[in-house]
Chains A and B, each alone.
Chain A
Amino acid sequence: MNKTALAPESTAIGQVRQFVAEKVVPRASAMDLEQRIFPEVFREMAEAGLFGLSIPRRYGGTEADYPLLGALHEELSRGFASVQNACTVFAMVCKPLTRFGSEELKERWLPRIAAGDVIPAIAITEPQVGSDIAKLETTATIENDQITLNGTKKYITLGQVADLFLVFARLGGRGIAVLVERESPGLQITPLPGLMGLRGNMLAELNFENCKVPASHLVGKIGYGFTHLANYALDEGRYTTASGSVGLAQACLEHSLMYANERTQFGEPLRKHQLVQKMLSEMITEIKAARELCAAAGRLREQGDPAAINDTLVAKYHASKTAVHSADHALQIHGASGCIHGNPVERFYRDAKIMEIIEGTSQMHELQIARTFSL
């Protein structure tokens, strides 16, 4: 794939499918076991233009439109959900940075992220604050053009390897978002191993103890941190997580169809048994519906229609549930053989559940969807 421009949609999808088949799938089990994305995979992702999917071309990105972005995330997740989620995180940093960042910040960071020279991460969650982000406890003060951060961020994807963090904090009661470099004085990073799913995410805890960053690293105005930037980032993340969930569910279906053809019990392949057919039919139907919801959200997003935000909530809510349900069926169809590490469906099962937690839990989606209808 060319780094500055994406090929027409069908070609780009074909290229990413091939990339996933050749570079990701063969290493997925090992990456899951070792709890990391291999450095060579990051390099190859950058070379394929995948770091820059949400970065405008004028900053060296590949800038996929929303329908294409969704289709590519679906392909990535069919290979390894952590690779897909890494791209979600890149977008959650780069989109708000592009929309609200100063020209200086954009020119400094976006081309390096697109080239894969800088790995970005987003730091919202804290030990005491998850869904209720307006209550963040990390504090910031500003003096002599310097921001001082104090607090702790937890469960930060790519935290173990990221070079740059978009950190959310509270400055005198108002939300801010600020870029913090890994080597900033006062920032300590501790890996959080032992994750159940998305084990390649390389989670970390970040401790800020009088951590100093220049005030010019602020992204957006003081007060915009939660209302503008965090929501902008989460909305973006929800869209690609929805598509990633479809990819995961699709992988469950493909493995299940293969196994149901190969495995014979009671003198017939599993696919001939009606109760197995029921599981496969449910998967096929739910995946089709989830993909259509993602496509509808993608179209509205591309048009810039504000209704896209609600449609994205609905798509992520349904698609993540579909991933969980499909993984459950896939494991059931595989029986004992699916319960052994190394069989991808065992990984899909663990990864799928995480989709219902990240970028807003299913319950947060239910609340927001209900609010949209004035319930």
Chain B
Amino acid sequence: MQVNMTINGQEADEEIEPRMLLVHFIRDRLGLTGTHWGCDTSNCGTCVVLIDGEPVKSCTTLAAMVSGHDVTTVEGLEVDGVLDPVQEGFMQCHGLQCGFCTPGMMLTARALINKNPDPTDGVIREAISGQICRCTGYATIVRSIHWAADHDAAVSVGSAS
């Protein structure tokens, strides 16, 4: 079947098997390997992308379901050579170690800050609670997201507006 969607501002028009998962479409077909895969059961969140600005687990989404929609992956966070404050925050606050969960965490953070520019610790923890990080123990991720919120210059990459 044919699917057509916008990924990081670019049109993607591809012939696929109907059963193809979005995560495999993004990684194997489009070669955007920043989106990761880490479980079979929608538990880990390493595969999170934004669909029309909302964080979604791309391992549990068929590529076909996203036809006509707007997808942002980690590769779309940096715009014209300028990092998203979320990316900067993760570097500044050591919010990543192996970096495997990081793209998903950052996209969730971006969606959160778009909605809530000044989230509390509790709100941040809740927002990332569908995602697992085995390395950081989360505290530095929480700090990173605060850093991003504090430095967010009305950037709204991936927001639906």
Q: Do the two chains bind?
A: no
- Which residues of chain A have a CB within 8 Å of any CB of chain B? none
- Which residues of chain B have a CB within 8 Å of any CB of chain A? none
